[in-house]
Structure 1
Amino acid sequence: MPMELLPDLTDLTLEQIRAVIARRRLPPVERWHPAEVLDSQMEIRADGSWWHQGGPITRPAMVQTFAGLLMRDDAGQHWLVTPQDRQTIAVQDAAFIAVDVFARDGALVFRLNTDELVIADADHRLTLRGTDDAPAAYLHVRHGVEARLNRSTWAQVVDMALDRLETNPGTDGGLAVESLGITFPLSGA
Structure 2
Amino acid sequence: MTKQASGTEHILSQIGQFKGPAPVHEWDPPYCGEMDMRIAADGRWYHEGSPIGRPQLVRLFSSILRKDPDGYHYLVTPAEKVRIQVDDCPFVAQLMDVEEVGGESQITFTLNTGETVTADANHAIEVTVDDDNQPHPTVHVRDGLWALISRSVFYSLVEVADQVSRDDGKKANNNNQIKTELVVSSSGSEFVLGTV
Please classify the TM superposition score into its range, dividing by the shorter chain length: 0.7 to 0.9
Which one has a bigger Cα radius of gyration? 2
Map residues 1-189 of structure 1 onto 2, 5 A cutoff: 24-105=19-100, 106-130=105-129, 133-161=133-161, 164-165=162-163, 172=166, 174-187=181-194
Once the two structures are TM-superposed, the CA of residue 148 in structure 1 deviates from its matched residue by 0.3
Q: Given residue 194 of structure 2, which amino acid in structure 1 is its aligned partner?
A: S
Deviation digits for residues 130-170 of structure 1 (CA, Å, limit 9, x no counterpart): 16951100111112111001110100110010xx33xxxx6
Gaps of 5+ in 2: 1-17, 167-179
Count of aligned positions: 160
Once the two structures are TM-superposed, the CA of residue 38 in structure 1 deviates from its matched residue by 2.2
Q: Identify which of structures 1 and 2 has the higher relative contact order when contacts are C-alpha pairs closer than 8 Å and 6+ apart.
A: 1
User: Residue 177 of structure 1 contacts residue 183 of structure 1 at CA under 8 Å; is this kept in 2?
Assistant: yes
Identity %: 36
Once the two structures are TM-superposed, the CA of residue 27 in structure 1 deviates from its matched residue by 1.1
More strand by share: 2
Task: Quote the residue 1:19 is aligned against.
Answer: none
Once the two structures are TM-superposed, the CA of residue 187 in structure 1 deviates from its matched residue by 1.1
Runs of 4 or more, structure 1, over 2 Å off, are 23-26, 170-173
Gaps of 5+ in 1: 1-22
Secondary structure of the 1:174 match is strand
Secondary structure of the 1:66 match is helix
Once the two structures are TM-superposed, the CA of residue 40 in structure 1 deviates from its matched residue by 2.0
Deviation digits for residues 80-121 of structure 1 (CA, Å, limit 9, x no counterpart): 110011110100011011001111221100010111100011
Query: Given the two structures, how large is their TM-score scaled by the length of structure 2?
Result: 0.76
User: Residue 74 of structure 2 contacts residue 83 of structure 2 at CA under 8 Å; is this kept in 1?
Assistant: yes
Query: Given the two structures, how large is their TM-score scaled by the length of structure 1?
Result: 0.79
Whole-angstrom CA distance in 2 between matches of 1:73 and 1:183: 28
